[in-house]
Amino acid sequence: MKKLISSITILAFTCSVSVKAAPANDGSALPFPEPGQASVTGKTLADSKHQWRVEESRLPKDAPNIVIFMTDDAGFSNPETFGGPVHMPTMDRLAKSGISYNAFHTTAMCSPTRASLLTGRNHHRVAAGQIAELASDWDGYMGKIPKSTATFAQVLSYYGYNTSAFGKWHNTPVTDITKLGPFDRYPTGLGFDYFYGFLAGETSQYEPVLFENTNPVEAPHGPKYHLTEDLAEKAIAWIRTSKTLEPDTPFCVYFTPGAVHGPHHIFKEWADKYDGKFDEGWEALRAMTFEKQKELGWIPQDSVLNPLASTQQKWDEIPKSQHEFQTRLMEIYAGFLEHTDVQYGKIVDEIERQGLLENTLILYINSDNGPSSEGMNGTISELLAQNGMPSTSEQQLETLKESYGGMDALGGPTLDIMYHHGWAYTGASPFQGTKLVAAHLGGTRTPLVISWPAKIKPDGMIRSQFHHVNDIAATLYDILDITPPKTVNGVEQQPLDGTSMAYTFDQPEAATTKKTQYFEVLGSRGIYHEGWFAGTFGPKAPWSTDASGLMNWEPEKEEWELYNLNEDYSQSKNLAKVNPEKLAELKELFDKEATENLVYPIGAAQYTVFFNPSELPSSPLKEWSFYEGQERIPEAMAPKFISGLSTLAVIDAEIPKDAEGVLFALGGISSGFTVYMDKGILKAEYNAMTLNRYKISSEARIAPGKVKIEVETKYDSAERMAPATVTLKVNGKQVGQGRIERSVPSIHTASETFDVGMDLGSPVALEYFDRAPFKFNGKIEKIHISYLD
């Protein structure tokens, strides 16, 4: 059996002693091949009768292939299958051939959900209380999955599965994403034989920042390229290879694309399928969805449709001049979601073509959290909100028209768009909340479809047992008769937090076996226990830039709500004042669970992002020496061209006549800083979140030969969004100067990189968009960049 040699650290043996491996369901340790099985019957080859050793299978004879699909930011009520507006043929197909769950939960946030799903533990227990980019040193928020919580991929791999992961990972520390590693928390270090995708929280669908295993790779540039299609093609190729070379070995595919997380990128023809379907606005769509959900029996008939939150914008508050913009954003999102589902279908079709569908267990998790309201009031530059940079819809529409040609640019490669929070709230019907709200089901609940024709017979009955992503690993172990190992690679393992869902496969109305589950992200928190739910909203609404609630936040004084989910499916009747005893009981239980799972201190998830941004995971360096050809250095490990950090870049180069190409660049099309040459002119551009592009250039061509170029960026102050002066010098002489009127305070992008001599990924400057990566045609000897006092 492959991959088991590495588990020599689990059980010891010597060359002279044969040690029998632990039984598959013993749980004491993972199995490994048994030595000493070949017998010696003679002293020479001529008189020996050799019988080759045969490795014992550790899996049931009918062990299924396993495929896990999980979409990003898709929400509860978008699929047409369950009453929503988006046609999703693969979900339809699998729901009809399998079973569906309407009370399945996530953590309300992407990295935490993925870590919990992969390990079968609660997200703080595996140090994923915040996304990896915003990790801190509190135990529950370090962003490093501990060795004591092995992933299901590690366990299945040791037991004999071929394993692969495709798409978004988002569980590798950002400081590890360099060519130096370490690589133990890349997908291939956590149990997957093969990985193709991206490590960040998001990336462009047209110009993604990709990895194959631990190696950076470049996607082809072209008008027909789309990342989700690429991922599906790679997954199909891997499945074919697995079954061609090892036809008797089951496979496990973890397919979790970045779709439909921002930026919303999809070809025009997919968005056009929904032309005019959302013209009545989000409240009307939410109401129609709610009625359809009840009509289909997806939600109980006595469910209540929660209204918009008081802080949310109503459709009739949107000026008619902006209606086309807002509806087009939703059309793009819907087309993007359908397109994603169709890619899943390609994989299912391939499995069926190979005659494997009957014994393939497919888990289709519709979303890793609730629909995202982080697009605020609809945006052409999604990270404006994360940077706390105020803008108006009028400003965005003006930029869209003047710099990008108007509405046709939406959904394309030059803009990182996201839809209005009203559409996100509609995607959570009938619940309150969206992504990043752990106190309300709109942030945590998502449809789950399971199909396994060999063992699960469709009965048309909705499963309403309360379950969570941490239950997936336990379910896989259960159906494979694997007792979770007590040690993995010599490290004692923490118990699983999840419970198996296998009992629901043939018992649709069985009582829920999961008694208790806590929730917490960004200070929003709650606790489920035996049908009751208590929670408190937290200090900030994710659909608003208003952070005043964080300024004097006192978590212990927050008001808690109480709901009886057995009688109130949509969490619409707050019983806190009616039943204070039950509320007190649940708050005490939350305290117990939070203590055991490393949730405290409440607010730790906000520590780096709001209270101490200087402590964000990043390079400790104050100066760098770069050389030609160095590229794909993550923003966290590179010089930061953000508010208050003045820099001096000194470039030693030899330039030809009419030199062109990028000297260095950080970021991408949505935001960043680039220094380049074009027709002999030295240029710099500070792209401040798409809305403001500040361009500086030399007054004349730079003479060819060896030159020393200096680019000084000097901020007026250390304040957020502080203005700065950029000065260009060649051989000590000033050749150009310009102003940055509004700088970026935190991060330029979520996945773009720092590159020397070229601009990989999406280009920072529109001026060389069609020439990217716009490699420099001279010679760069060295680039030294340092922070100025």
Q: Does residue 558 contact residue 326 with C-beta atoms inside 8 Å? A: no
**Helix H or strand E segment including 424:** helix 421-426
Q: DSSP per residue over 503-560, as a string?
A: GGSS-TTPPP---EEEEEETTEEEEEETTEEEEE--S--TT----HHHHT--GGGPPP
Task: Count CB neighbours of 643 within 10 A.
Answer: 21
Query: What are the pLDDT digits (tens) for 428-462?
Result: 999 999 999 999 999 999 999 999 999 999 999 99
Average pLDDT of the segment spanning 248-270 = 98
Check whether 328 has a pLDDT greater than 90: yes
pLDDT at 43: 78
Predicted local distance difference test score (pLDDT) of residue 9: 31
Rounded (10°) CA dihedral 40, 44, 46, 48 = -10
pTM for this predicted structure? 0.94
CA 652 to chain centre: 39
What single letter denotes the amino acid at residue 617? P
pLDDT tens, 721-768?
999 999 999 999 999 999 999 999 999 999 999 999 999 999 999 999
Helix (H, G, I), strand (E, B), or coil: what is residue 626?
Answer: strand
**294/2: higher pLDDT:** 294
Given a cut of 80, is residue 263 above it in pLDDT?
yes
d(CA 241, CA 636): 36
- For the chain, give the mean pLDDT: 94
> CA 228 → CA 163, 166, 349, distances in Å?
19, 10, 16
Which residue type does 377 have?
N
Other residues' Cβ atoms within 10 Å of the Cβ of residue 220: 8
Contacts of 353 (CB under 8 A, 6+ apart): none
> Would you place residue 22 in the very low, low, confident or very high pLDDT band (cuts 50, 70, 90)?
very low
pLDDT per residue over 211-258, tens digit each? 999 999 999 888 999 999 999 999 999 999 999 999 999 999 999 999
Whose tokens are 């913009």? That residue is 325
| Integer angstrom CA distances of residue 10 from 16, 31, 159, 302, 322 | 18, 8, 14, 54, 62
CB 433 within 8 A of CB 370: yes
Q: How far apart are CA 785 and CA 624, in angstroms?
A: 5
pLDDT confidence bin for 365, thresholds 50/70/90: very high
Q: What is the mean pLDDT of residues 260-284?
A: 98
Is there a contact between 31 and 21 (Cβ–Cβ < 8 Å)? yes
Environment class of 300 (CB within 10 Å of its CB; exposed 0-12, middle 13-18, buried 19+): middle
Rounded to an integer, what distance in angstroms lies between the CA atom of residue 438 and that of residue 450? 25
Mean pLDDT confidence for 286-297: 98
Evaluate if residue 39 carries a pLDDT over 80: no
**Could you tell me the two tokens for 584?**
């007190």
Q: Pick from 495, 508, 423: which is nearest to 460 by CA?
A: 508
Residue 123 has pLDDT above 70, yes or no: yes
For residues 772 and 46, which has the higher predicted lDDT (pLDDT)?
772
* Cα three-residue angle 605-609-613, rounded to 5 degrees: 130
What is the secondary structure of 312-379 as a DSSP string? SPPGGGS-GGGHHHHHHHHHHHHHHHHHHHHHHHHHHHHHHHTT-GGGEEEEEE--SSSPP-TTTEEE
Question: Tens digits of per-residue pLDDT, 73-111?
Answer: 999 999 999 999 999 999 999 999 999 999 999 999 999
The half-sphere exposure of 589 on its side-chain side, counting CA atoms within 13 A, is 20
Q: Measure Cα distances from 634 to 415, 461, 659 in Å.
A: 21, 48, 27
Confidence of residue 267 (pLDDT cuts 50, 70, 90): very high
Tokens representing 722 are 């502080």
pLDDT over 50 (residue 8): no
Task: Return the SS3 of 397.
Answer: helix
Q: What letter would DSSP give residue 294?
A: H
Of 488, 520, 348, 564, which Cα lies nearest the Cα of 31?
Answer: 488
Report whether pLDDT(295) > 70.
Answer: yes
Q: Residue 605 gets which letter from DSSP?
A: G
Q: DSSP states of 209-232 as a string?
A: EEEETTEEEEPPPSTT--HHHHHH
Of all residues in the chain, what percent carry a pLDDT higher than 70? 95
User: What phi and psi, each to the nearest 5 degrees, are found at residue 230?
Assistant: -60, -45
701-717 confidence digits (pLDDT tens) = 999 999 999 999 999 99
pLDDT confidence of 478, banded at 50, 70, 90?
very high
Q: Provide the Cα torsion 77, 83, 84, 85; round to 10°.
A: 180
pLDDT in tens, 125-170: 999 999 999 999 999 999 999 999 999 999 999 999 999 999 999 9
Query: pLDDT-derived band of residue 5, with 50, 70 and 90 as boundaries?
Result: very low
State pLDDT tens for residues 56-65. Answer: 888 999 999 9
Q: Is 60 exceeded by the pLDDT of residue 33?
A: no
Q: What are phi and psi of 407, to 5 degrees?
A: -60, -30
